[in-house]
Amino acid sequence: MKRPIISMTVGFLKILLVVSFSVAIPISSFAQSGKTPLPAGKAIMEKIVVDWNGDGLFDLILGDRDGFVTVYLNEGSNDSPKYGHGMKLRAGGKEIKVRGPSAPILVDWNGDGKRDLLVGDRGGYLHLFLNQGSNRYPEFAPAGMIQAVYKDLDVVSNASPCVVDWNADGRMDLLVGKGDGELYLYLSEGTRDQPMFGKPIKVNDGKLDVGSNSSPDMADLHGEGKKDLIVGNDNGEVFIFRNQGKDGDPQFDNLGKKIFMIFNDDASPRVIDWIQSGSNDFVVADRYGEVTLCPNKGSTKAPSFTEKRIIRARRR
């Protein structure tokens, strides 16, 4: 029997639905983001690090050069993590595969309390896989394309998404890294539960440029109640841009502070309190699937990153 296909367009998203059955992989519960501005540094997305199965351990979600999205469960502890063979995520009964490299994040996109999957690809597009199951047993629908100005959002190459409430209006905005190193900002013109995007805004008029293959994250690194900008690039460098403005009106110098440590190619940073000390550490994933933890050796207001711990070795 052929599977029925339903085609529809809903605001920002063009969807082809294939009615099918898929095997559900249990994941942990995910708190619904509120409708008021989140305090600076509070995550509204999950990138690289996630507690996938609700056991309190830090698991990993990674893209790769072939375009797949894989979850690696922590078989050790948070102090001594150990990651075995991964499991490729599926949607509509098939393994998720975009034009590699893939850049995945998890986010409750439509405000239904369930985390959905957003994946950037080599062509500069963003694929959204809505969770039609539950957080315990997710069933990702076939991909829809994120749209801006009523056409597929396209940053030309190597889209690396970050979801953030940029202007503190309670809606989810998109900050997207791209192949030429610039950052594009898409402010939501819709609602919290149905984001819609207009024309892109070049951060700092395109003058904030870290090289190539920019991969952004945002968090309050300095305990000032406003979000800072952290960006990795193709050379394995990570830059910190301190917010000189307000949380709802971020302002950054064109030149960031480069941390002295170098990682492998295509560094993608994520700020997280891994050590559970109340201050921000960060992890960096690279194009080979290696993940490095950099614990904060300073304080909440004066972070210092001087140590690298490889928590998942590169793919051989």
pLDDT in tens, 104-128: 999 999 999 999 999 999 999 999 9
The span from the CA of 34 to the CA of 208, in Å, is 31
Do 269 and 215 contact (CB within 8 A), yes or no?
Answer: yes
Residue 181, Ramachandran bin (φ over 0: left; ψ between -120 and 50: alpha; else beta)? left
The span from the CA of 185 to the CA of 162, in Å, is 10
The pLDDT of residue 3: 37
Residue 175's pLDDT band (cuts 50, 70, 90): very high
On the question of pLDDT at 231 being above 60, the answer is yes
The span from the CA of 3 to the CA of 129, in Å, is 19
The pLDDT of residue 54: 85
The one-letter amino acid code at 207 reads K
Residue 28's pLDDT band (cuts 50, 70, 90): very low
Do 189 and 197 contact (CB within 8 A), yes or no?
Answer: yes
The pLDDT of residue 18: 38
More confident residue, 11 or 165: 165
The one-letter amino acid code at 242 reads R
The span from the CA of 176 to the CA of 163, in Å, is 9
Which positions ≥6 away from 261 have C-beta within 8 Å? 238, 294, 305, 306, 308
On the question of pLDDT at 30 being above 90, the answer is no
Scanning the structure block, which residue is given the tokens 């939501």?
188
Scanning the structure block, which residue is given the tokens 């995550």?
43
Backbone angles phi, psi at 158, to 5 degrees: 45, 65
The span from the CA of 140 to the CA of 94, in Å, is 10
The pLDDT of residue 10: 41
Which range among 23-27, 85-89, 168-172 shows the weakest confidence by mean pLDDT? 23-27
Residue 44's pLDDT band (cuts 50, 70, 90): confident
Neighbours of 65 (CB within 10 A): 14
Do 25 and 87 contact (CB within 8 A), yes or no?
Answer: yes
Secondary structure letter of residue 141 according to DSSP = P
Q: Which two tokens stand for residue 181?
A: 């190193």
